[in-house]
Amino acid sequence: MTTAQTTTADAGDFATIALPLMPSVVRVAQALTGDESDADDLVQETFLRAYRHWQTFQRGSDCRSWLSTICRNAFYENRRRERRSTPMDDHELDSLASARSHNTARAGGVDDLFTRIDLGPAIADAIARLEPHYRYAVLLIDVDGRTYEEVADLLDVPIGTVRSRLYRGRRQLQESLISFAIDAGFGGADANSPTQRPSSNA
Amino acid sequence: MPDRSVCESVVRQLWPYLDGKVDEAERERIVAHLVNCERCASHMDFARAFIEAVGQFGPRATVSDALRNRVITALAREGFNYAG
């Protein structure tokens, strides 16, 4: 229960409060549809609904969450719900796989891989190659900072499914980046290279 | 030398631990093990650096000019007056 004072938003606020959140809505729409052109339709539908009901938005409340809910509802209303089965992987196996990946990285001389600032483009490429279920779990949680619970609610799947998709996505991403680094010869880099990011693990 | 079966049980919880998804008793068990096991601690550091790198370098959500214009045009038909 919040004690913050809330007032109903007026129409003039829509451009300054709602429209700047379009990137977040795009991300949610892409995660729901798994298809960029379908996502564009859903983004438009979301903003039209939001504008029509803007007087119900409470100033000071979380507009990103409000828009995400509209987007989610629009998606499920416009489309017969499909309960796709996602292979459920034991999260413990995906955790163990990270340790194996670390051993592979160490053997390949690239165990400092994730502290390199020049890894950015490879990370973006590797994320783009992930299967959509896994890609959007990683993007929504590890890049956008949403919680498991929030993503489960948005995608209308159990939290366990979100967790499985996230861990599998991380596993594939790690394996892909380690292979890339070994192939690219990162292991031969000077450890004092200016491409090193300072570690936050003091 | 740490017990290998304990090492495996700790590494099995690597992602849940890093995401803060283990209960307090499990978290304490893992922390106590990591203090004494350099190998498991290095696995955790490696995975933590990975998550930080993805968070730092992962692609931000973006909107194309075409989509932004399309949405604003559709809103204008609803009476929205966009001055920006």
**pTM of the model as a whole:** 0.75
Determine whether A17 is exposed, middle or buried from the number of CB atoms within 10 Å of its CB (0-12, 13-18, 19+).
middle
Amino acid residing at A194: P
Across the interface, whether the CB atoms of A139 and B51 are under 8 A apart is answered no
* Closest chain B C-alpha to A110 CA, distance in angstroms: 11
CATH number of A91-188: 1.10.10.10
List, for residues B23-39, the tens digit of each pLDDT value.
Answer: 999 999 999 999 999 99
Determine whether A143 is exposed, middle or buried from the number of CB atoms within 10 Å of its CB (0-12, 13-18, 19+).
buried
Residue B84 belongs to some domain of the structure? no
* Check: complex ipTM more than 0.90: no
Domain with CATH 1.10.1740.10 in chain A: 7-78
> Minimal CA–CA distance to A52: which of A14, A83, A80?
A14
Distances from the Cα of B12 to the Cα of A112, A168, B6, B21, B45, angstroms: 22, 14, 10, 13, 15
Across the interface, whether the CB atoms of B14 and A95 are under 8 A apart is answered yes
Residue B34 belongs to some domain of the structure? yes
Structurally, what CATH architecture does the domain formed by A7-78 represent? Answer: Orthogonal Bundle (1.10)
pLDDT at residue number B1: 62
Cα A109 versus chain centre, distance? 29
- Could you tell me the residue range of the domain that residue B32 belongs to? 4-76
pLDDT tens for chain A, 202 residues long, are 333 444 566 667 899 999 999 999 999 999 988 777 788 989 999 999 999 999 899 888 999 999 999 999 998 887 654 444 444 446 788 888 888 888 888 888 888 888 887 888 999 999 999 999 999 999 999 999 999 999 999 998 999 999 999 999 999 999 999 999 888 887 764 444 445 555 444 3
Q: Which of A19, A52, A127 lies nearest to residue B59, judging by beta carbons?
A: A127
Helix orientation angle between A22-33 and B65-76, rounded to the nearest 10 degrees: 100
pLDDT at residue number A87: 47
Number of folded domains in chain B? 1
